[in-house]
Structure 1
């Protein structure tokens, strides 16, 4: 797997490269946005680790330009941000970023985020067709969801909203979602009512995917904030 690291701080760039190459990835480094676009044209990577604040073209502009010219391989983009930057804007659909990581970060978390992205099927033409975790497989084209228990795979009978909710969680493993963020993602401007309706839908989803819904393993509550998805082997 090839990774393009776009980072203007040499020490951070070297740390990222050393960490990922230690896990068997092949890495290249671009020091600014223009170099990143040139290197992207030369060899399209599987993942781009992209710093938000870059000299010249910033990370958002680089991300947007890459998404405007997808080739045979449409890479995953992991955005690096500093504390206090506008996370929601960065990971919004309009930017094209797939996930974000806040500086300072641990090498272990970086590897986990990259591997989580690569567990999805590599995208063709800008579309992610399948999400896969240790226990779940979601086919977005066929709108099917399966749960793996031991060596067996069982189909999940999910409503449209439950499927979309699970896909949202799985697409950003470990990310904490507030109720308002989930409402924006799932309902958009069509939502009217109490945001606590999210709790109802999460409870219904848990009944269908959790071995013990009263002690959830996958969709976990983050007290005072919202929910996050975890699925470790």
Structure 2
């Protein structure tokens, strides 16, 4: 009888420990698609087609599941390097820096090498976004359990002309603010973790060429996540 009681206790303890070790749904987000073309009707962020992605984005992976991959897509900037006026944290993940390093989104020497069928040859990466001045770009991201919060901070879109540098400190991108998007602009009917969200903006006026777009979102005060993409702007 004592043996059975002890055995039962050990089983319960083991199960409790297993539960504490089981990964829970991540609460971070990232850009899933930079150039999303929504289908008409309801659930516009779930139904549609993606024509452009972030740097080295594994587009064949299941939507909203890249937080459990290695490297994950969520890059959390180091809060110690985000002091106002001295924001030295890399704007794009270099897979080394950050409280959560994320995947490598640094600029290669040839921008196209971070995408498939531009100059890159990796078939697992998505295509680069190609657009023109005045067109509408729609960006998509997974809710990651924040779609029902009363007032999650908005997504910030920074936009700057490509200058050939491998990476920039966040202080540089902050000077190129473009717009804000409502984080909880999400579809319905999906679990909170994998619910699709998104927002659109007009491509600003400027000379044709390559541009850097940064998607940046603050989950909690001082806790920032970013995704970076190159956008080729062509003449209409």
Larger radius of gyration: 2
TM-score normalised by the chain length of structure 1: 0.22
Whichever structure has more strand as a proportion of its residues is 2
Larger RCO (CA within 8 A; separation ≥ 6): 2
Identify the structure with the greater helix proportion: 1
